[in-house]
Structure 1
């Protein structure tokens, strides 16, 4: 099996640059099939992934956080030449939530071995379309697409105002977003049926976790053929604090102002326009059209974690 590892050296505030060579050296024979490609600028991982597909690699491993995986997936998906390889992930980054959905071991060496070993499972992806500078832009995502409060948290986190690593930086970014707490009037459709509501945030999830261990959508799973939708109705500051606290334990669904549904297609517009994030990356503003792509990709893992 030919394996291309695409490494984002700035992931984890530079951790990947130091840790990846040491990891390869420690891995012994299991690293012999791995060729390393270093990304050099934002978006370069996408270019490298497209090249890896054209070059006939059997597996492409994203080494970094969820943002690195997002770039790798899009590089592979939109490249039409060559067979689609399977994808693995070695989580060395600021946010590594997607990998939490899978049985890949607990330590970094276990996760390396899972990423370069043959076992893989079929997972679903989401595809979305937005207007960007007057042009339609399409992308795919693996974990979650969120708008409103979620995207504002991501915007603050990416700014580095509260630090760039760790759950504490994400928690502080969440608190910082409270000062910009705005509701959005959504209109659109879910599975073709009309949908209208007011929200603080709206998430379309294929993974359970987001934002450094926040269990944002407990029923969601990468192997399901539909999204888990979860949204928060407009409430005051104290109730949002309670929501964030409970979400770290996946217990926020019990709150009456948190709603959920399942869908394979979603169209949303909002007033005022809302920022959108996909897998922790800011991508634009509403309107947005989202659809599921069942069993779109093979992901290196022994299985999906079972929820208790």
Structure 2
């Protein structure tokens, strides 16, 4: 029996609203006494607005039913609510990639995922704040999983949605293979802690979670509650003969490799010069382009419904 003090708001991506398994799961939960309000998104911004208003309506838990983009939108709405009134977040993964849900071990079918969300405990995790834009205009947004920049973001943003749905994570790998022969690097100056470094990068990954792009593990040692970003830098290469070294380093994520560098930091800033192209970025599946951006960890800002023993929580590390 669901705790009567809990009130759930299920925010469903409009494209998934007709999913029979989800409808059946909601009906089954209500028969058991679960108090679930359902709202369906119609256009961009709806999910954030529903989540932001949830606390005013006495909602204790907001469940996002959709892909990584839907989760991201709901997270941004929740982060507009004062911390002491912020509802917990649950996830019913219904997208093509579902990177965050997969990495934390959530059920991937709508029925089991909703049932689990109604039973799981909430654990506090970090949220990453991004301030980005141009010299004339900046905006702030949040994410819980990962931002990728450069080549990796291009792959995600240009993979056709139909191909994503047909192939899932395989669509990203296919598009990556096609683009590898005419890749483009991006220049920028990176600032973190007391360091400054100008680089021409093929890929930048800023992980709170571990994977992006439909199953590509880019931050294998990331934790959701350690107060730090896991940063992956992949430098550009000039010859196809250098690819074996780059690929080998990507299998081990060295702290200071020839092409790959992996480290942690609570905050990182990237700036470009006037002649440099804006960086393509994806924030939890949403594609954007920026001249400059800063990411920083907001420690333990959001409670999330996670399975017991989730490997991305520091508290579950082996002694």
Q: TM-score range by the shorter chain?
A: 0.7 to 0.9
What RMSD in Å do the two structures reach over aligned CA positions? Answer: 2.9
Structure 1 gaps, min length 5: none
CA distance in 2: counterparts of 1:230 and 1:170, whole angstroms? 18
User: What does residue 299 of structure 2 align with?
Assistant: 294
Task: Give me the TM-score of the superposition, normalised by structure 1.
Answer: 0.87
Structure 1 counterpart of 2:54, from 52, 55, 66: 52
CA distance in 2: counterparts of 1:189 and 1:9, whole angstroms? 40
- Structure-to-structure mapping, 1:1-308, within 5 angstroms: 1-10=6-15, 14=16, 17-27=19-29, 29-30=31-32, 32-80=34-82, 83-105=85-107, 108-117=110-119, 119-131=121-133, 134-157=136-159, 159-160=160-161, 162-165=163-166, 166-235=168-237, 236-237=239-240, 251-253=251-253, 256-270=258-272, 271-301=276-306, 302-305=308-311
| CA deviations over 1:207-246 (Å, ceiling 9, x no partner) | 1121111111100121221000001111245766886799
Cα distance, 1:53 vs structure 2? 2.8
CA distance in 2: counterparts of 1:118 and 1:61, whole angstroms? 12
Structure 2 gaps, min length 5: 1-5
CA distance in 1: counterparts of 2:69 and 2:92, whole angstroms? 12
- 16 and 222 in structure 1: CA distance in 2 versus 1, 3 angstrom threshold: farther
CA distance in 2: counterparts of 1:232 and 1:298, whole angstroms? 32
- 277 and 238 in structure 1: CA distance in 2 versus 1, 3 angstrom threshold: farther
> How many matched pairs?
301
1:186–1:269: 8 Å Cα contact kept in structure 2? yes
1:144–1:279: 8 Å Cα contact kept in structure 2? yes
Secondary structure in 1 matching 2:211: coil
CA distance in 1: counterparts of 2:115 and 2:218, whole angstroms? 28
1:62–1:69: 8 Å Cα contact kept in structure 2? yes
| CA deviations over 1:246-294 (Å, ceiling 9, x no partner) | 96xxx25267422111100111023332111111111322310111011
1:275–1:286: 8 Å Cα contact kept in structure 2? no
